[in-house]
Amino acid sequence: MNTQPLQTLPLAFMQRASKSYGDPANPVHALREITTEIHDGEFIALCGPSGSGKSTLLNLLAGIDEPVSGQVFLMGNDLAKLNDRQMARLRADAIGFVFQFFNLLPVLSVFDNVYYPLMLNGFRRHEARESVMHIIEKVGLIDHYKRQPGELSGGQQQRVAIARALVKNPRLVVADEPTGNLDTRTGEEIIDLLLAMNQELKTTFIISTHSPILRDRAKRVLLIEDGRIKDDFINA
Ligand SMILES: Nc1ncnc2c1ncn2[C@@H]1O[C@H](COP(=O)(O)OP(=O)(O)OP(=O)(O)O)[C@@H](O)[C@H]1O
Ligand SMILES: [Mg+2]
């Protein structure tokens, strides 16, 4: 019998997870036997050179891609055992995504971009209004909720994307180079916002980055090189 209390289970757990691409006879090894745990409330910077496997790791974690060997557990689920529908459900309920190039819908207003994931989850506009406006306010865009993404700065667009990731109150937010397309100062404002959201909402963040600032300010740093975990430490 498993007597381990539920709350001590990690939010995510990878066990010797490997991923390679291309011709099996001559594969590119993107990740080599990654074993790591992520716990609720963590704020992790995933660092490492270009091509080291950061995006691949995030994709495995979020069930967007599957390992060729090893296992990924997310919120008590062995991802290999979920069918596509169950995986899509888990993603829709529990994971928010933030990308380097924002990926906003250009013809929709800020409000509707943030509402979008709730719409997909079956909420009507009027039902969602309070949560949408609340998170838009939290990311500092209340004056701009009627604008379209094209009428906003890069940093403001990334705030919209962060609001969209957080609106359904996910347990985990996966961000792939969220400051990669922003100047240093704007990037730092986004880092402040992500840290504040981690503090306030207790959302867990794992964020791939080339930013030394984010690396210094994250609670935990996971450093990968050539598909392997090179270092894993808590910032003082
Ligand atoms: N779809 C793909 N097909 C073939 N090879 C891929 C594919 N995606 C990634 N790779 C390879 O896997 C390795 C890891 O790539 P990944 O995108 O995870 O790196 P990264 O750390 O995110 O890099 P960057 O910092 O440039 O975003 C690289 O060698 C890359 O070329
Ligand atoms: Mg990447």
Predicted confidence pLDDT, tens digits, the chain (236 residues): 555 555 578 999 999 999 999 988 899 999 999 999 999 999 999 999 999 999 999 999 999 999 999 999 999 999 999 999 999 999 999 999 999 999 999 999 999 999 999 999 999 999 999 999 999 999 999 999 999 999 999 999 999 999 999 999 999 999 999 999 999 999 999 999 999 999 999 999 999 999 999 999 999 999 999 999 999 999 98
Q: Is 60 in the pocket of ligand 1 (CB under 6 A)?
A: no
Ligand located closest to 211 CA: 1
How many A from CA of 208 to the centre of ligand 2?
Answer: 7
The answer, yes or no, to whether any atom of ligand 1 lies below 6 A from the CB of 28, is: yes
What is each CA distance from 122 to 63, 109, 134, 135, 160, in whole angstroms?
Answer: 22, 19, 19, 18, 21
Nearest CA to ligand 1 atom 11: 30
What is the 164 CA–ligand 2 centroid distance (Å)? 21
CATH match for 12-21+28-234 among 1.10.1740.10, 3.40.50.2300, 3.30.70.100, 3.40.50.300: 3.40.50.300
CB 202 within 8 A of CB 43: no
| Cα-to-centroid distance, 36 and ligand 2 (Å) | 19
Taking the whole predicted model, whether its pTM rises above 0.85 is answered as yes
Task: Calculate the alpha carbon distances from 29 to 12, 33, 79, 207, 223 in Å.
Answer: 22, 10, 21, 21, 17
